[in-house]
Structure 1
Amino acid sequence: MSVFDTLVGQEHMIAKLQGAVLSAKNGEETQEMTHAWVFTGPPGSGRSSAAVAFAQALICPDLGCGTCNACLSAANGGHPDVEIIRTEGLSIKIDEVRELLTRVAWAPSMGGWRVVVMEDADRLTESAANALLKAIEEPGNRTVWLLCAPTLHDVLPTIRSRCRHMQLVTPSTKDVAAVLQSRDGISPQMADFAARVSQGHIGRAKYIATNEHVRSNRKEILKSVTQLNNVSDAFKAAQRLVDIATEDAKAAAEIRDEKEQDELAQAYGKGATGRGMASGGSKALKELEKEQKTRTTRMVRDSLDAALLDIATLYRDIMMVQSGHIDALINLEMAQEINAIASVVPTHKTIQRLDAVMKARKALGFNAAPLLTIEALMCELV
């Protein structure tokens, strides 16, 4: 067993990482190991999983067995020599990076390396990226930086030029379905469906396969797009899509937010004997609420982005039918609707609609107003 066994469809990269781990353990002066790496790949390819697996292997006595205390604690963020930075806000700010740099300046306490995994390096603000650059330019003696981003262009040029690049690929539908069956006990039919509609995104495939509510919402959104006949329909569909994304995000956030607030309040003495929370408790709670609001905003945008990707698969399927490739549909369950639209809508119009969906995704990425963006999109899809 190895920590690299969880990386689906990335055999081309695993050998390089294992070689780097072996070189690091032997202490040899080779080109295989370096102090800074950047993992890129499409959503769902497992770039964060690859970085964490590499971190586990570097601090594991057995080169990443996946079962020892070092491997298990590194994976869940409990190892003192492994920092896993997972931002839930819209950006990583300079204060967070400065605090991180203070911690990683310490020498390793248990493993031979101090490893930092930054899952969303593309969300660094300019000032935060510049602060990180200085640390990468002047690395600690036993510190390794593992940055993750969708593409190299999402990382500051001066940072990526100092990192070794690891490019992940989208796993095949067959590989994802096999993982869902063997690892999560999903039925073959459901695993095939989830792998197909998630387009190789392992995390989303599991989420779809195990959540009937998500599957129902997806079906409703795609149906509404096929039934756009006028501007009125467009505005209704846009409002419904935003409502679904908002409701899902808030439902996921509510329980978590309440738990975090209770834990913080208790940490400041709420419920104990005396006069209540210690000094600074109210301020800390307000800061937490602000962070939670930012996190919910991001969750809404992520949910909208996932919905737009689903809509994009619909127009992709229509294009496939129009080009004569009827055996390669993602949304097989909607074959009847897809064939009907493909027979009456010109191919160039389908391409324009697909372009409109991708432009809407880009606009949301630049923090455009969600409802206005989706309304404009739906009007273009009529």
Structure 2
Amino acid sequence: MPFPLYMLALAVFAMGTSEFMLAGLLPDIASDLDVTVGTAGLLTSAFALGMIVGAPLMAALARNWPTRSSLFGFVLVFLSAHAAGAATSDFRLLCATRVVAALANAGFLAVALTTAATLVPAGKQGRALALLLSGTTMATIAGVPGGSVLGTVLGWRATFWALAALCLPAAAGILTGLPAHRGQHKEAADGHCLRADGRSLRAELAQLKSRRLLWVMLLGALVNAATFAGFTFLAPVVTGTAGLGDLWVSVALMLFGAGSFAGVTVAGRLSDRRPDLVIAVTGPLLLIGWPSLAVLAHQPAALFPLVFVQGALSFALGSTLITRVLYEAAAAPTMAGSYATAALNAGAAGGPLVAATTLGTAAGTLGPLWVSGLLIAVTLPATLPLRAAPTSNRTGA
């Protein structure tokens, strides 16, 4: 794989760590800024909202910019937002920096998803996306636990400063590794800016009229919703249902992250040419796995292996569906990545919200796991048309 892909993955690692790290930092932030933990939780909602809105918005703004400049700029904005957040003592300003960081994250990921597909030969798009998304999975393995430890020892601000510092090598790698090509543009008769390939923004947005594209985006969002419904509430399952100490929460999260890394790595080699195989294998296993995890969660010997397996299956299926989004949106080369990013984050935001409603019911801490299973049960029959998905088309530059 080309060196620039690894730099893009490093930036995704920093951004993924930022997205997930707040779960372990909220009490410290709430105490330091004199707000309740519930109010501090708005930081997570602000980031999710910024990601969903920011993906298409930032991609549309950056479509006429040189790819290297836009990616470099998004990383610098992300870095600056974390530096400002680390320095502030005003909760409202901190919340604003989270929105700005999310917008930069969304813009970066939308452009990076499309860029990754152009850095590799035809037929290796899935592997390129798997490498890019491995930055997110590595964030759950190392970034989030590491940030939690750093925050515990040196305070939450140290974690924000560390993420800002981590952006520096990623920015340098993007600046030196990616070619400085500037897209050529021309003016259409109706006044709309065209890329050199003749596609206007209006034409690219018109791809959203495709029922097949919208269907794949919906499936990707549902699978991601199932993934984050269970992942977000693993901590109370470990400490409550399984009766283990707080230290074991980090173990469970790391196992889920390790499984997700394995899942995207294996699926990346198959998602281009055999997406039907990935869907046919992982879908039914996920449908069995989430309820099994709910039933066996009180037994640590079963809990931890199942957490690893669910992470692997969830990210294998999710990354395959996101690859299909890029294929289906091949006629929207500058916006395809934003469609995939929006689908990913709609699920990441919606799944935990639905799962949280079950915590006060008779299902208790196991409710989110049942929600994950239900979401997969709804999604699985709808994936059948994808068995005939074409694999020869490829996202353009």
Which has the larger Rg? 1
Relative CO higher for 1 or 2, CA cutoff 8 Å, sep ≥ 6? 2
Q: Do they fold alike, i.e. is TM over 0.5? A: no
Normalised by the size of structure 2, how large is the TM-score?
A: 0.25
Which structure dedicates a bigger proportion of its chain to strand? 1
Normalised by the size of structure 1, how large is the TM-score?
A: 0.25
Which structure dedicates a bigger proportion of its chain to helix? 2
